[in-house]
Amino acid sequence: MARKIPWGKILEVAGAGRDAREGGSEAVRVWVRISSGAPRGLVLAIKEALVAREATGIVDVRPVDAPAPDGVAPDALVIVCGEQTAAEAALARDAARRAVPVALVAESAVEVPDVELPEEALPFLEVLACADALALVPRLGTWLVGATDKGLALAANFPFCRPAEVDSLVRRCAMENAAVGAVTLIPGSDMAVMTANQAKLALDIAVAYGRGLDPSRALELAGVVGAGFGYRALARAVSRVIPGLGWAFKGAMGYAGTVATARALQVRFDFEDGSLRPHGEEISRQAPARHLELPKRSGEHAHKQEDGRHARAGHASALPYVVLCPDGSVGRGE
């Protein structure tokens, strides 16, 4: 008898693609507040990483004691600690009490101010102590994805957030497929469920890498379906050889097959982006060097340029904050 086409699962995958697209296009706001005397290496690493690829990624960089924008709440707040411990603690305390995730960044834990919080606000405060600026960036990405509910939007905008978000997606889907493979109430039903899960995962990964859901995704989904049939055939063959442990092998194959398929997609996207590192760990499309100046406080003056040219008469007052724009440029404001 001919096998029925699982239209329900096909519609489910289509709906998942729409949800993934909406999740990846959500607006995500990250505030960075820099204390005077903050380690320059950490500041520059954070500002390089937080250059959004899409217009939906909004990054606001200001001194720690600058007034906040009216009527706007961030999805996450990053405070780079320095000498203004009182201002740092007050800002972190206010944000955590309003359920805004806050990360206090410093070279060591002893440089982080004490922040007194009620018990219900403690989960919103995290300390990222790291002396190595390069090691800080992946830790920051893991924290951002875990602390907010906008993992897809973060990954689509900021490449350094992709490893954490994709790993979370793969782990969740692999565990579900392992359970489906191990416990099958209706013979043959596991194939449709597991393949649909893998197809939804493929769409999520595409969105996390900033890919649109265009017709080229159909070829990827076809590859996912073909891989699913291959894993299923292998699991069925082994379960005949070992009848008593067939359920365990099916579960293991469901997990391993999901992970292998997802990693293959990641490698493809990494090479398309020009990255030779797996899982998108490279921070690409960095901000040009001219955009990596620390925001200066009002009243400070411009120095002479290094090439020997003299500054114009008088002293130019520095702007109190900068905003990194999606195209890599800097928006300035008073």
Each residue's pLDDT tens digit in the chain (334 positions)? 444 545 455 566 667 667 888 888 899 999 999 999 999 999 999 999 999 999 999 999 999 999 887 778 899 999 999 999 999 999 999 999 999 999 999 999 999 999 999 999 999 999 999 999 989 999 999 999 999 999 999 999 999 999 999 999 999 988 988 888 776 645 555 677 787 888 888 889 989 998 876 666 666 666 666 666 666 666 666 666 666 656 676 777 778 888 888 888 888 888 777 654 444 344 333 333 333 334 444 344 334 344 444 433 343 333 344 455 445 455 544 4
Alpha-carbon distance of 11 to 31, in angstroms, equals: 38
Non-local CB neighbours of 165 within 8 Å, separated by 6+ positions: 145, 151, 152, 154, 155, 208
pLDDT score recorded for residue 305: 40
Name the phi and psi angles at 8, rounded to 5.
-60, -45
| Helical spans, DSSP H, in 104-215 | 133-147, 151-157, 162-182, 189-208
Identify the DSSP state of 317.
Answer: B
Whole-number pLDDT of residue 163: 93
CA distance 14 to 8: 10
**Best CA proximity match to 89, nearest among 128, 111, 115, 69:** 115
Reported pTM: 0.72
- Judge residue 307's burial from the number of C-beta atoms within 10 Å of its C-beta, 0-12 exposed, 13-18 middle, 19 or more buried: exposed
Separation between Cα atoms, residue 207 and residue 42, nearest integer Å: 29
Which residue spans within the chain are E strands per DSSP?
28-34, 57-63, 76-80, 102-106, 125-129, 321-324, 330-333
Q: Residue type at 35? A: S
Using CA atoms of 40, 301, 291, 322 in order, give the dihedral in degrees to the nearest 10: 90
Q: Evaluate whether 129 touches 112 at the Cβ level (below 8 Å).
A: yes
Q: How far apart are CA 216 and CA 72, in angstroms?
A: 38
Question: Quick count: other Cβ atoms within 10 Å of Cβ 240?
Answer: 8
